[in-house]
Amino acid sequence: MTDQLVIGIAQINPTVGDISGNIKKIRAAREQLQAVDLIVFPELIVSGYPAEDLVMKPAFSNQCKAAVEALASDTADGPAILVGSPWPEGNKLYNAVALLEAGRVSAVRYKVDLPNYDVFDEKRVFDAGPMPGPINFKDVRIGVPICEDIWSPDVIECLEESGAELLLVSNSSPFESGKTDVRLNHVVARVTESNLPLVYVNQVGGQDELVFDGSSFVIDSDRKLRAQLSSWEEDFAITKWRRNESGSWSCDQGTVREVTGELASIYQAALLGLRDYVEKNGFPGVILGLSGGIDSALSAAIAVDAIGADRVRCVMMPSPYTSQESLEDAAACAAMLGLKYESISIGPAMQAFDAMLKDAFAGTDEGITEENIQSRSRGLTLMALSNKFGHMVLSTGNKSEMAVGYATLYGDMCGGYNAIKDIYKTKVFQLCEWRNKNFPQGAKGPAGNVMPERIITKPPSAELRPDQKDEDSLPPYDVLDGILEAIVEDERSLSDIVSAGYDEDTVRRVWSLLDISEYKRRQAPPGPKITRKNFGKDRRYPITNSFRREI
């Protein structure tokens, strides 16, 4: 009977659809972890996650399965591997893990509990597997539940009753603020119920609007943390396991890396999400409008930290309403980040539109239309530079603005990606202060301050008319964000929000702005999920919606 096992954890960053590239990463990890018996990889590592409807293409899912079967030959000697992949079987398609050992696929298990809420659509693309029994590896009965299978007791209870001795869980669990504790609580609950130790292996990296933080870990049957891998980067660990006198398995104490705090995690999620979006889609760099305001300053800092100042182009696009402070702050921010600063005035475009529309607009007053022309002139300028030189436009609107529609279609909403799309304005202020005092893990930007303090302290303004301030037409951001979080994140009722101390008329107005802006959000660029309910797959409201009249 085997009394010792050495299990490797491979926390790697796949690319959706790059089957050969992902297999290459698996092979590289195996070379790095040769001194182990078994290596555990994240969920659907062969296809990348989430591959969405791509997995329903027979050519794709069949190629994934064939790649796994070919990979099995690598295990004729050296460590076995537990690898996640789509798995077609007859007229069924499963989310599976396969044990590869001794040169063959020795066992396959299927995911039972397919999540179908928030960002997850697995019931759309996969068939649910039957309740699994453990896999026999070196005479050790190993349970291999997959991700959501451990978020409720049933699958683990089945594995325990079937004689499982330890649990190896492959995951692709996307980041959201506060989720580290949620995951740990679920794992501790399953360990407590089953009295089985558990290895939790999560993928890392960005995939469109999802970011995976890694943070893989091991919890022993005594509920003690035996190993903790890094967050936000590929990482590997070797864990040593022993069967004790009672026949139970226990893990030796390993390295426990520090998990990043809230602000650091949010910043890292935005950084990694942008970096992988740029790199995996092959963009040479990004271009953004640097206005002298806080949102564009934070976006520029994230971009420089993600891909380096040499790949970030920033443009100030002043109008007659741009303040001297904004000109100075934008130039100072660019200098602090090591960016080349250029200025392209939109004044000539404004004059051209005035002349073009003079007869059509005759007899009307200036207002939002003229303000939007300014924003669209800036969007047109950035898109022209993007088309000419290939840099992706990075839009810079925060979640508070996107919620209430304080953004211009085909203007400041132009872009291929938005790193702060799911970050409320109050959190933007906190992140800017945090970045000036901290150097992010893996950042390519400078240490120290990356923006002038005045950018953080001055009242926010779109500067589309004289002396304009955001709070001329919106509640203070701490009030606005409190109301929005209650509506969007918590789905609280009007009476609940008012009872929490918010003015009823203000709540009704914010709620109305949120509802009528749905059409804009449908046309917004993607950005990394940060909160529990991002605008996208998390929150799917109809554009044509008469229920809002009942609020």
Please give the radius of gyration of the chain, using alpha carbons only, rounded to the nearest integer: 26
Task: Judge if 230 and 367 occupy the same domain.
Answer: no
Q: What are the CA-CA distances from residue 264 to residues 302, 333, 431, 439 (Å)?
A: 12, 21, 8, 9
Task: Judge if 387 and 486 occupy the same domain.
Answer: yes
| Residue 221's CATH number | 3.60.110.10
Strands of the sheet containing 225-228, edge to edge, are 135-137, 140-143, 166-171, 198-202, 217-219, 225-228
Task: Judge if 500 and 411 occupy the same domain.
Answer: yes
Q: Cβ atoms within 10 A of the Cβ of 402, count?
A: 25
For the stretch 413-457, pLDDT in tens is 999 999 999 999 999 999 999 999 999 999 999 999 999 999 999
Task: Judge if 207 and 316 occupy the same domain.
Answer: no
Q: How many domains does the chain have?
A: 2
Task: Judge if 313 and 433 occupy the same domain.
Answer: yes
Q: pLDDT > 70: what percent of the chain?
A: 97
pTM listed for this prediction: 0.94
Question: Which of 234, 259, 284 is the endpoint of a domain?
Answer: 259
Band (pLDDT 50/70/90 cuts) for residue 314 is very high
Q: What is the DSSP string of 367-423?
A: SHHHHHHHHHHHHHHHHHHHHHH-PEEB----HHHHHHT-S-TTTTT-SSB-TTTT-
Task: Judge if 436 and 539 occupy the same domain.
Answer: yes
Task: Judge if 301 and 400 occupy the same domain.
Answer: yes
Question: Which of 224, 259, 294 is the endpoint of a domain?
Answer: 259
Task: Judge if 151 and 276 occupy the same domain.
Answer: no
| Residue 509's CATH number | 3.40.50.620
- pLDDT confidence of residue 465: 62
- pLDDT confidence of residue 82: 98
Band (pLDDT 50/70/90 cuts) for residue 8 is very high
Indicate which residues carry an active-site annotation.
Answer: 43, 111, 147
Cα separation of 493 and 301, whole Å?
Answer: 37
Question: Which of 230, 259, 288 is the endpoint of a domain?
Answer: 259
Task: Judge if 124 and 91 occupy the same domain.
Answer: yes
For the stretch 129-170, pLDDT in tens is 999 999 999 999 999 999 999 999 999 999 999 999 999 999
Structural domain of residue 47, as residue ranges?
4-259
> Half-sphere exposure of 287 toward its Cβ, with a 13 Å CA cutoff?
24
Task: Judge if 253 and 286 occupy the same domain.
Answer: no
Task: Judge if 209 and 278 occupy the same domain.
Answer: no
**Is the Cβ–Cβ distance between 137 and 101 less than 8 Å?**
yes
For the stretch 100-117, pLDDT in tens is 999 999 999 999 999 988
Task: Judge if 237 and 374 occupy the same domain.
Answer: no
